[in-house]
Every structure is written in structure tokens, then in C-alpha cells.
Amino acid sequence: MTQASRILAAWWRTRTALRQSPERLAEGRLRAWTALQPALARTPALVAFAGQPLDNFPITDIADLRHDYGAWNSLGLSDRELRAMADAAEAGEQAAPGALSAGWSTGSGGTTRGLFVASPAERAEYIGQSLARLLPARALLRRQRIALHLRAGNVLYSDAGRGRIAFRHIPLASQLAETSAALEAFAPTILIAPPHRLLALAEAGVRLPALRHLFCGSEPISAAERSLVAARLGLGPRAIYQATEGFLGAECRAGRLHLNDHVLAIELEPVAGTPGFRPIITDLKRASQPVVRLRGDDYLELDPRPCPCGFAGRVIRPVEGRVADIWRGSAGCVTPPQIVAAVEGVLGAGHRWQAVGELARAVLRVAPDCPPAQAEAAAQALAAAAARPVELRRDLPEWSGSKRRKVVWADG
Ligand SMILES: [Zn+2]
């Protein structure tokens, strides 16, 4: 099977799944789970459970998986071999088309980065799913120029980008002016970038007249930031919920974030003291590097309102932070969405900020150019929402690294 026909097959399967009832989706998940068992039987960490129902498998924390990738692949590769492959890819060595590819993902603050392995069939599956989830069918009939403004050239796209679709990778490490010039020269029709860079590009006045579809990923984006990007670029960004553990969800055309319930079995583990959950992720399509009951760290809340788009995948509220960054205290838990709402209700999206919570106090850091009265008001709103005194500092530097963290819990 050629890569193009694999992509088309995955696209078609996904388009079909987007119209199925919750019951049909569940049947599809069960079939995919059965088909996955031979790969699990070749995976050292899971071989003892292969053939059993999902519930019987252990729940694994990501740190444990990252400790030994050799135990978590079905290809007989050792931890050392996989790390060497990913290092080579990061150093710019291209995996041959048709070969296994490996790479490193962005780690969020405080966590180590994750290693990702994908076979050609898995890369095709990912691209087919993404195209079906993110773009209307008619968009595939046009020539598209897709700009990926991400940390590393995503291994998943390494053999796409022929025919009608051109991919251009613009590294996140590039300076803003350089990025802006590269984007204007490429004139993408589709752009994928992290929110903090989209905001910076929008503020710098980047001109992208050919842009038809705008996506953001790899870190949370708030409601205020969305409005600001939409106002400046003339196009609202849609969120892609992607982690090293897989492609977990995406916003539909109605702007609602659906979990990828057609290819993932995501269990929701309640987070004590909050209305939210953390995801326990099983990717039913990944055989090279199985993801089975992996406990993620994002803080999720369900959105019970039905979605008019017709996809039965569960809808969650925008992801705004990690479970590890929930603030604890005598007055109970304060969640990342509550903290973002309190601060940005006053500051809006135009000013950089970071809130660091401790048991009995918190610090709100804002950019030096943030107007003092507004910063004071934001600190007061945060103090009220988080029920603790807030110290204000006007010394927050530019975001460095590839991930920003607006909400941080420092009392661990
Ligand atoms: Zn929808």
C-alpha cells in the first residue's frame, strides 16, 4: 500500500466515524482493541496482560514510561537504540521514506520531553485523521501550503508534503522577525503554531492574506487570547489537543473541543476537590509504541452541552493547565481555568503574565510594560479568586523555551 493510499484510507475512516452514534464509536473501539492485542503481546511492559480487557491493564504514569522506552515498544528496540534514533532526527538526519521514524516532543515545564516512534502506516494514519478532523473535504481539492511553526520538524509529517500539499517547517527557535518574514514569503493557507507565538506574530502585524485555516496547539489558549488573534489575523484559531501520548482531540467547525473517541479510549479519572478530571489514555491505533492506560497530567472539564457538528466524541472545555498546577489551600482547590479567568478578566490577552501559587500566598508576575493600575486590579482579582494574598511583580521576561506556563503551583 502506498503512503498516499494509506492517508486516504485513514481520512475516509475518520470522516465516517465523525457521523457515527456513540454506540457505533464504542463498537469501533472494541474492534480496534482486539486488533491491537498482537502488538501488546510483543511489548515487554504489557505482554503479561495481552488479550485481556482494557480494565485489567495497569495504569502507568508517563514518567515510568519515559524511564525505559525499550519496555514500551513492540519492535524489539532497546531504550538506547530509540534515544539514538530520536537524537539523530533532532540533529537533522531525515528518516528514509518508508522507514520507522523517531523524535522528541516538547516537554512542558517540569517534565522531561517525550520520545515518539511511528511507522509509515502510523504516520499515514495520523495525517489522514488530522486532515479529516481539521479541514473540510473541499479543502483537499485545492493546493494547500501548510506552515508548521513548531519546536522540531514533526516526525509525523516527514513523508507528507508531496502533490497538492506543501509543508514548510519554521522552527520555534527562530527570532520573531525572521519567523514573520519566512511566513510572509511562504504565504501559508494553513498555519499551525503555539498560542504564545501566534499572539506575538499578531502583535507584530504579520500579513498572511492567503491564510484560510488557523490552528494552535502544544499549550493552552484562553478565550481572551483567541479573540485577540482573531481580531488581528482576521481568522479565529482552532485548538488541536495534541500530546506526546497522541492526538487527543481537536476543535470542530462549531468551535467545540471533541476528544478523539473514534480512535482513543480515554478514561476520565476524577481530580479530588474539583469538578474536573485527568485523562487516562489508550491509543487504539498505535502499535509500534503502544499507549495503554497512560495517565496524562492535563486538567480537563467536560462540557455537557450537545454539539451541532454531529460528531459524537465527548466535548471538553478548553484545556488551560495541568493537574500538577492546581493550587491547594485551606479554602480548597483553585483550578487553572479559574486562575486564567480571574487574571485575564482584568488584563485581557494583550499582556504577558504568570501566576505562581503557594499554600498561603501567590505571586503574579506581569510584563514590565503592563499598565500598573491594570496589573494591580488583576492581582486583586486573583487574590479574591484564589483566597490568598498576592504579591505583584513587574518583571516577567519574554517566554523562552517552547512552552509557556501561565499557571504554576510551586508548593509541591
Ligand atoms: Zn462539534
Domain CATH code at residue 111 = 3.40.50.12780
**Domain annotation covers residue 321:** no
How far apart CA 219 and CA 322 sit, in angstroms, is 10
Expressed in angstroms and rounded, the spacing between residue 254 Cα and the centre of ligand 1 is 5
Expressed in angstroms and rounded, the spacing between residue 380 Cα and the centre of ligand 1 is 36
Expressed in angstroms and rounded, the spacing between residue 367 Cα and the centre of ligand 1 is 36
**Domain annotation covers residue 246:** yes
**Domain end point (choices 316, 341, 372):** 316
Residue 3: φ, ψ to 5° = -60, -40
Whether 7 and 128 have beta carbons less than 8 Å apart is answered as yes
pTM to 2 decimal places: 0.89
**Domain annotation covers residue 95:** yes
How far apart CA 156 and CA 119 sit, in angstroms, is 9
User: Going residue by residue through the chain (412 aa), what tens digit of pLDDT does each one get?
Assistant: 788 889 889 999 999 999 999 999 999 999 999 999 999 999 999 999 999 999 999 999 988 999 999 999 999 999 999 999 999 888 877 767 778 888 887 654 445 678 989 998 998 898 889 889 998 888 888 888 989 887 665 556 655 556 677 888 888 888 899 999 999 999 999 999 998 899 999 989 999 999 999 999 878 888 888 999 999 999 999 999 987 778 899 999 899 999 999 999 999 999 999 999 999 999 999 999 999 999 999 999 999 998 999 999 999 999 999 999 999 998 899 999 999 999 999 998 889 999 999 999 999 999 999 999 999 999 999 999 999 999 999 999 887 765 688 999 997 5
How many other CB atoms are found less than 10 A from the CB of residue 171?
15
Expressed in angstroms and rounded, the spacing between residue 133 Cα and the centre of ligand 1 is 10
- Per the listing, cell 522540531 goes with 152
DSSP per residue, 240-305: EEEETTEEEEEE-TTS-EEE-TTTEEEEEEE-TTSS-EEEEEEETT--SS-EEEEE--B-B-B--S
Expressed in angstroms and rounded, the spacing between residue 369 Cα and the centre of ligand 1 is 39
Of 209, 204, 233, 173, the residue nearest 403 (C-alpha): 173
pLDDT at 110: 47
Expressed in angstroms and rounded, the spacing between residue 124 Cα and the centre of ligand 1 is 24
Q: Are residues 89 and 193 in the same domain?
A: yes
Expressed in angstroms and rounded, the spacing between residue 313 Cα and the centre of ligand 1 is 8
pLDDT at 174: 84
Q: Are residues 31 and 163 in the same domain?
A: yes
Number of domains in the chain: 2
Expressed in angstroms and rounded, the spacing between residue 203 Cα and the centre of ligand 1 is 30
Q: Are residues 106 and 230 in the same domain?
A: yes
pLDDT at 161: 57
Q: Are residues 280 and 260 in the same domain?
A: yes
pLDDT at 405: 86
Q: Are residues 225 and 283 in the same domain?
A: yes
Structural domain harbouring 221 = 3-316
Expressed in angstroms and rounded, the spacing between residue 273 Cα and the centre of ligand 1 is 29
Q: Are residues 250 and 138 in the same domain?
A: yes
Whether 7 and 97 have beta carbons less than 8 Å apart is answered as no
**Domain end point (choices 297, 316, 335):** 316
Expressed in angstroms and rounded, the spacing between residue 248 Cα and the centre of ligand 1 is 15
Q: Are residues 95 and 170 in the same domain?
A: yes
pLDDT at 173: 81
Q: Are residues 331 and 308 in the same domain?
A: no
pLDDT digits (tens, 9 = 90+) for 294-342: 999 999 999 999 899 999 999 999 999 999 999 999 889 999 999 999 9
Expressed in angstroms and rounded, the spacing between residue 365 Cα and the centre of ligand 1 is 36
Q: Are residues 257 and 373 in the same domain?
A: no
Q: Are residues 273 and 375 in the same domain?
A: no
Q: Are residues 312 and 338 in the same domain?
A: no
**Domain annotation covers residue 119:** yes
| CATH number for the domain harbouring residue 372 | 3.30.300
Expressed in angstroms and rounded, the spacing between residue 302 Cα and the centre of ligand 1 is 13
Q: Are residues 234 and 344 in the same domain?
A: no
Expressed in angstroms and rounded, the spacing between residue 267 Cα and the centre of ligand 1 is 20
